[in-house]
A and B are shown apart, each in its own frame.
Chain A
């Protein structure tokens, strides 16, 4: 068995020497923009954040959601505020771009995240806000009609 595989191994090794970057050619390395300013430090050491950022924000998520603890140290919004900033041309990457701070690494490591299905992907000042929903009179009347039929007894009682 070993003999049979040896020639193959040699071929693979030889190819690897000939084309040292063949394996990575179609997967671009992540482009990570460091936050502005030399004295800016992350809330935890960098290597710790690379490995454990998900645990920090998961913990903070439950603390904030259920207990109302709103400290900023491991706050997801603070991550975005610091790490997602415009480049020198003033362009800021949304999550739809593979230059977005989170997406660039997650794409490289093939880990899907759904944070941005709900959360803002850029600091608030860079988000173009659409106009809030209008209230077409037709829909309001429909709702009134529905509600009248649903709560009429209560409204009548309370008069």
Chain B
């Protein structure tokens, strides 16, 4: 039953996105998301946080967003690239026929119907009401089902003991983690670290904002020029969209 409902909603969202996303969620109240949420108020589903990444503005070889993310979350590598944590990584795609290359940052896509949440046996993988997918490391048992389920390879497992964590990014051995869309910053009405770094670096490849608000910059841009989901065929309704792919 619920599947049928979801599918109709998904196909509606797909169509609106395909046509050029005139309004992503018509009739939803607006204007309240630009200001900071009071600390004592819970997040609501009136907001859906999302990102739009223009790959034409994303420079090949630039790692501003990745570096900012690593610094923000205290991600320290152990020189073991296959297992070191990465929340965001730069990916280069090359079309074989034309040889055209494009570079894009790839991270948790914050799917509406997230496979990681579906498969989690303990409820540690969950979606906040405002659309951010998170791991509650207090209840994560480190089984890594979510890592298997994620089509974007967005999650990492912490293999080794961690010390000197940052205040806002607790992380430790034996749990799975991924991009949190800088939830600690978003709750303070700041933009995620990657977005900030890209803007400060004068690249302006990222737009962060509320997908539910047709007047937000991200919705306006999506309405005007559209944006694609990676692996749109999976019908996950991702919160991260791309232009130029």
Contact = CB atoms under 8 A, between A and B. Distances in A.
A65 B42 contact: no
A69 B77 contact: no
A138 B79 CA distance: 11
Contact of A147 (B106, B166, B188): B106
B120 to A, nearest CB: 14
Interface string A33-77: 000000000000000000000000000010101111111100001
Nearest to B94: A148
Interface stretch (A6-14, A23-31, A129-137): A129-137
A154 B233 contact: yes
A140 B75 contact: no
Contacts of A77: 167
A127 B75 CA distance: 14
Interface string B148-192: 000001000000011011110011111100000001100110000
B90 interface: yes
Interface stretch (B62-70, B111-119, B212-220): B62-70
Interface in B1-59: 37, 39-43
Chain A interface mostly: helix
B231 A132 contact: no
Nearest to A155: B93
Given A67-B42, A77-B167, A155-B245, 10 more contacts: A119-B165, A127-B166, A129-B166, A134-B77, A143-B89, A147-B106, A151-B230, A155-B95, A158-B245, A159-B95
B159 to A, nearest CB: 13
Nearest to B103: A144
Contacts of B130: 68
Interface in A110-159: 117-120, 124, 127-136, 138-140, 142-144, 146-148, 150-151, 154-156, 158-159
Contacts of B76: 130-133
